[in-house]
Amino acid sequence: MTHTLLFWLSLAVLLFWALGAYNRLVRLRARVIGAFAAVDQRLMQVLPLVSERAAVRRAQPATVDPVAGAQSVHADVDASLDGLRGASIQFEVALRVARKSPLDAPSMAALRTACATMQVSWERSQAQPDEALSANQRAWEDNQQASNEALESFNQSVAIYNRAIAQFPAVVLAYFFGFRAADCL
């Protein structure tokens, strides 16, 4: 009789522990997804800045470089705008995919690459500084700072989530219920 009671008591304790651990993993996953929403919001603000930069660059009058000539200057501006436009398309697509699955490592890797490409393209588009672009540049820098803060919060949430699903015995529940390690940005 005491062995039966001890068995059922142990089973109840194990069941309640498993429910608690599962709920904790679900809460942590929801926290990561919530943190990504803040990152997504900040990163979406990049696209209007890119459009504004392209509009300002196209509206600028041509300056003639006596050595290279006007055609060379236009070609440089057009090339940097084409690169920025292409990077923004890649960025937008990667952001859409990451939005659908923020815990998927390949999605985060694609978004990380798109962010880096966007940064390089942005820097190339400002090769010729201009007063008309200074407000746009300040807005970009402010957005980058806010995005970095959101990314830091997201990465901290991912680290906590990854530690939680890697701990024994929660790793067993994570395996059975499909909790996979997330990737930082």
Q: What is the enclosing helix (H) or strand (E) of 82?
A: helix 70-100
The top-level CATH class assigned to 18-56+71-177 is: mainly alpha
Round the CA-based radius of gyration of the chain to a whole number and report it: 25
**pTM for this entry:** 0.76
* Tens of pLDDT, residue by residue, the chain (185 residues): 688 888 898 888 888 888 888 888 899 999 999 999 999 999 999 889 888 887 777 666 555 555 554 444 455 567 778 888 889 999 999 999 999 988 888 999 999 999 999 998 888 877 666 666 778 888 888 999 999 999 999 999 999 999 988 888 888 888 888 888 888 88
Q: What is the enclosing helix (H) or strand (E) of 128?
A: none
Contact 154, 32 (CB under 8 A): yes
Phi, psi for 110 (deg, rounded to 5): -65, -40
